[in-house]
Amino acid sequence: MTATPLPFQEQLRQRTLTYGTRLCLGLDPRLDAYRDVAHLREHTLDVLEACAGLVACVKPQLAFYEVLGPSGYPLLQEVCALARTLGLPVLLDGKRGDIGSTAQAYAQAWLSGPHAGSALTINAYLGWETLTPFVEVARAHGGGVFVLVRTSNPGSADLQQSGVAEKVAAQVAQLGQEEDGDLSCVGAVVGATHPEELEHFRALMPKATLLLPGLGAQGARASDLAPAFLPGGVGAVVSASRGIQYVQGLDVRASMEAARNFRNELNAALTT
């Protein structure tokens, strides 16, 4: 029998408090940057090893593994296994969501078995009832879910700024109230590209860990992100993918330096 892992939100909090980092390493390997899949694999694992001590968690974007065809899921398993060996929580960016019975299958696939103790990004577009399977499996297996609330892309305003983001945030907050403790397993995605909205969403979801994508390639700045955090500088992680893995071609030392700089800038934002 395997021990239930520390709940995902606590794994993140521990990484932040123990290692002084709020940075999430996005690992989105792009085939066109490499000679072949073997080269992609080697570089991706090298970047992970090089950056491990600088980050709170790792976030593989499932699309970049799915596009590799039959090689994709084995590589994803390898990335996840190495991350866990290095002590890093794994946040799977899959943005899953479907009718309840299918949501149940997604939840089992990505939040139990070998992925117990991991987290998954999920989509509330099909309604609140479709979040339930994900939340139940996450709670049972020490995992987490991150519900899309206000995404980082420019077009997110089309739907999300018509009151939808606030409705989803209210649902995230309500699910959080069902749990003891100051942090819930139900987190939320709020783009780092909307710094002026961070205080608003932080207040709407006081027990949610926030995932803030958009640092680096999408133009968000670490110095703007302090309002996303809870007192003590916990309760949020900020992700960068291209801005670390491909900051200077395939130079792994440059990736490590970029991660170090982002980590330091985030920490500085919380102390000024």
Stated length of the chain: 272
Rounded CA gap, 140 and 203, in Å? 27
Residue 95 annotated as catalytic = yes
Min dist CB 190 to ligand LLZGTKA7, Å, is 8
Q: Residue 218, interface with ligand LLZGTKA7 (CB under 6 A)?
A: yes
Q: Are 104 and 140 in contact (CB under 8 A)?
A: no
Site string for ligand LLZGTKA7, 169-208 (x = CB under 6 A): --------------------x-x-----------------
Q: 69: alpha, beta or left, given left = phi > 0 and alpha = psi -120 to 50?
A: left
Considering only 242, 254, 257, 270, the residue that binds ligand LLZGTKA7 (CB under 6 A) is 242
Secondary structure (DSSP) of 189-232 = EE-TT-GGGHHHHHHH-TTPPEEEE-BSTT-B-GGG-GGGSBTT
Question: CA torsion 38→44→47→49, rounded to 10°?
Answer: -80
| Cβ neighbour number for residue 66 with a 10 Å cutoff | 12
Q: Which of 59, 95, 167, 207 is catalytic?
A: 95
Q: Are 118 and 89 in contact (CB under 8 A)?
A: yes
Considering only 216, 222, 256, 269, the residue that binds ligand LLZGTKA7 (CB under 6 A) is 216
Q: Is 18 helix (H, G, I), strand (E, B) or coil?
A: helix
Q: Residue 222, interface with ligand LLZGTKA7 (CB under 6 A)?
A: no
Considering only 7, 26, 72, 117, the residue that binds ligand LLZGTKA7 (CB under 6 A) is 26
Considering only 13, 22, 25, 28, the residue that binds ligand LLZGTKA7 (CB under 6 A) is 28
Min dist CB 216 to ligand LLZGTKA7, Å, is 5
- Enumerate binding residues for ligand LLZGTKA7 (CB under 6 A): 26, 28, 61, 93, 151-152, 189, 191, 213-214, 216-218, 239-243
